[in-house]
Amino acid sequence: MIDLLAYLLVTIALIFMALGVIGLFRFKDFYSRILISAKIETVGFLTIMIGLIILSGFSYAAMKIMLITLLVMITNPLSTHAIARSAFLSGYTINQDTRL
């Protein structure tokens, strides 16, 4: 039963990420796309890691997964912020990305 829950969480995360990537193409400007891509990655990754923690049980592997999850949860917002800030400081405006 616990394995089924873990597989369900991983499947939900993969479906969420796939639909998020498809929905990402609806946004036309850079800043909206980077915001949505960060949310897709964060929620999808967190759900996959929770599923893997449940699947592995309380073990050394689960501790490794928790540490990796913590590292990604800290670095993902920082990297997204750094990319968006560098685009803003370089003068990238919203109306420049209208190619799609």
Task: Please state the pTM of the whole predicted model.
Answer: 0.79
pLDDT at 15 over 90: yes
At residue 6, the pLDDT reads: 93
Mean pLDDT of the chain: 89
Confidence of residue 99 (pLDDT cuts 50, 70, 90): low
Tokens read off for 44: 């999808």
DSSP labels for 27-76? --SHHHHHHHHHHHHHHHHHHHHHHHHHHH-SSHHHHHHHHHHHHHHHHH
- pLDDT tens, residue by residue, 36-85: 999 999 999 999 999 999 998 889 999 999 999 999 999 999 999 999 99
Mean pLDDT, residues 14-18:
93
Q: What Cα–Cα distance (Å) separates residue 28 from each residue in 31, 36, 47, 92, 94? A: 9, 12, 27, 14, 9
* Cβ count within 10 A of residue 49: 21
Contact 23, 39 (CB under 8 A): no
